[in-house]
Structure 1
Amino acid sequence: HPQLDNMDRSWADRSPLHDAACQGRLLALRNLILQGHNVNVVTIDHVSPLHEACLGDHVACARALIAAGANVNVTTIDGVTPLFNACSVGSVSCAEVLLENGAKPQALVFQPSPIHQASSKGSSGCVETLIRWGADVDFDIPHLGTPLYTACVSQAIECVQRLLREGANVQKGRYMESPLHAAAEKDCTAIVKLLLDFGADIHARNIEFQRPVEAAPPSSLTEGFLLVYEATPQPLSQLCRQRIRDRVGRDRFHLINHLPLPNPLRNYLQYR
């Protein structure tokens, strides 16, 4: 996908609107709109001025284009949306504006996915925004796996934390490869600990029939940590927390706040 990060842009067929949006020149953009320039003009690769504004994190330009009738769900020839571009650069403000104006929070399976892009780039703000607007936290794309798996591969710990708190299935990765396998393979002990706190299965086997400890680099910190973890009984408090969260169910996590429990217990159940 040469167009995914819009690096391979065609300059010959760009309009003045594209240039103003790309450079964040709001006054010039507004003048062009007033002069009657079409806000939905696209290049040969179907890149719109709104794509450019979002890729540059120019929220005021994005807002002006949308107010003038720009299509928020326009796609390039590679299926890239302005929302995908906003997530590429971690622009929560552009993502919010797009979603407030009807952008679809989730791509189709064969299109570049905003939540996977935000997870791979480490933008936990965009991940949180997308989920709040209805993106599936466990959206599974065959060649990428889930957003959680993507975040583990990219070692984006804040995204891993956000996805888990929002109820991502800790066991779902890419095909038989679990998020724990991905984190172990990357020797990212902090993410391994986090996944285990959320109930990751230390005995899960991947397609090569390896457990996460066997996927970790030999003699690494993560391998040592997993060997000790395997040999140590889990605290009852940890097992109880996982059991309660399983019983509550992801769709009702927000109700934990309303349970008649002491604050420390509520915070513990919510990993706060």
Structure 2
Amino acid sequence: RGGNMTANPFALLHYSNVYLTVNISLTILLALILVKDTVTFVFAAGSWADRSPLHDAACQGRLLALRNLILQGHNVNVVTIDHVSPLHVACLGDHVACARALIAAGANVNVTTIDGVTPLFNACSVGSVSCAEVLLENGAKPQALVFQPSPIHQASSKGNSGCVETLIRWGADVDFDIPHLGTPLYTACVSQEIECVQRLLREGANVQKGRYMESPLHAAAEKDCTAIVKLLLDFGADIHARNIEFQRPVEAAPPSSLTEGFLLVYEATPQPLSQLCRQRIRDRVGRDRFHLINHLPLPNPLRNYLQYR
């Protein structure tokens, strides 16, 4: 058989082509593997490329491993190239026990990444009230600077009303205005997070204050979120306010939408005297003294009404 193949040039050509095809295929496969490995390496070469063992333990919530590393002398304030600390990742993973251990070992609760993100911002991103409480109890600033990512805006946009309540209780300004975002109330309306809208309003957020000339009511109307529109109006939102385009909320609502129909009826209907009185009383009491309503010598139903309960 071997002699016949040697004598047959076509057979030699056939096997040569097979060899060439296999060789090329293997070369291409090897190249793809190398490219894949390179892409994987490049993908992993961000802020996590230089993560420490502390970062890994905090990220995975491995408390025992974290404590052992701390006892071995690892620096709890070690950061990646993007200034991400172990405390950042512990809070992002809602690992409150790891966050406590890091703080107890001296972790900086106000450390910021190169983008200005704090551990408190991360806790509010994932709705970790426990981590937020631990950070605030240990000196975390409840409110960011204007040019930094804001925890209360983040919590409002994500629907994390528990974090919103915690931040306000620790001194965050409920009307904190960031030029490109507006107020937390406006952010919650844009994101259609009704629980956060309700929480912010009950804590005394200015129902008229949004972003530039755009009110929270404009934002809710544009999103066709009738439930939030009703809530804002209950708290005294101005139905006749005009935005930068000189539109009233009803004109900002989608044409023929449920919200547009509701606003048209609302404009034509006189408001109950009880509602007007409630708004007037709350205005006179003032946001800083809302907590005193509970101590007024009034029947419980009336106190509840004044507090929108």
How far does residue 242 in structure 1 lie from its aligned partner after superposition? 0.2
How far does residue 259 in structure 1 lie from its aligned partner after superposition? 0.5
| Aligned mates of 2:65, 2:265 — CA distance in 1 | 62
| Aligned mates of 1:122, 1:93 — CA distance in 2 | 16
Whether 1:26 aligns to 2:63 is yes
CA offsets 1:159-190 (integer angstroms, 9 cap, x no match): 00000000000000000000000000000000
Output the TM-score relative to the length of structure 1. Answer: 0.96
Alignment partner, residue 80 of structure 1: 117
| RMSD of aligned alpha carbons | 0.3
| Aligned mates of 1:44, 1:256 — CA distance in 2 | 51
CA offsets 1:97-148 (integer angstroms, 9 cap, x no match): 0000000000000000000000000000000000000000000000000000
How far does residue 11 in structure 1 lie from its aligned partner after superposition? 2.0
Alignment size in residue pairs: 263
SS at match of 1:102: coil
| Aligned mates of 2:62, 2:254 — CA distance in 1 | 49
CA offsets 1:36-81 (integer angstroms, 9 cap, x no match): 0000000000000000000000000000000000000000000000
How far does residue 262 in structure 1 lie from its aligned partner after superposition? 0.3
| Aligned mates of 2:305, 2:260 — CA distance in 1 | 28
SS at match of 2:233: helix
CA offsets 1:76-105 (integer angstroms, 9 cap, x no match): 000000000000000000000000000000
| Aligned mates of 1:120, 1:11 — CA distance in 2 | 27
| Aligned mates of 1:33, 1:141 — CA distance in 2 | 38
CA offsets 1:238-269 (integer angstroms, 9 cap, x no match): 00000000010111100000100000000000
Output the TM-score relative to the length of structure 2. Answer: 0.85
How far does residue 12 in structure 1 lie from its aligned partner after superposition? 1.4
| Aligned mates of 1:103, 1:76 — CA distance in 2 | 15
Unmatched runs of 5 consecutive residues or more in structure 1: 1-9
User: Please, which of 163, 166, 190 is the counterpart of residue 153 of structure 1?
Assistant: 190
Unmatched runs of 5 consecutive residues or more in structure 2: 1-46
| Aligned mates of 1:96, 1:160 — CA distance in 2 | 21
SS at match of 1:140: coil
| Aligned mates of 2:238, 2:102 — CA distance in 1 | 48
How far does residue 232 in structure 1 lie from its aligned partner after superposition? 0.2
Structure 1 ranges of 4+ moved more than 3 A:
none
CA offsets 1:199-257 (integer angstroms, 9 cap, x no match): 00000000000000000000100000000000000000000000000010111100000
Alignment partner, residue 247 of structure 1: 284
Higher helix content, 1 or 2: 2
Whether 1:59 aligns to 2:96 is yes
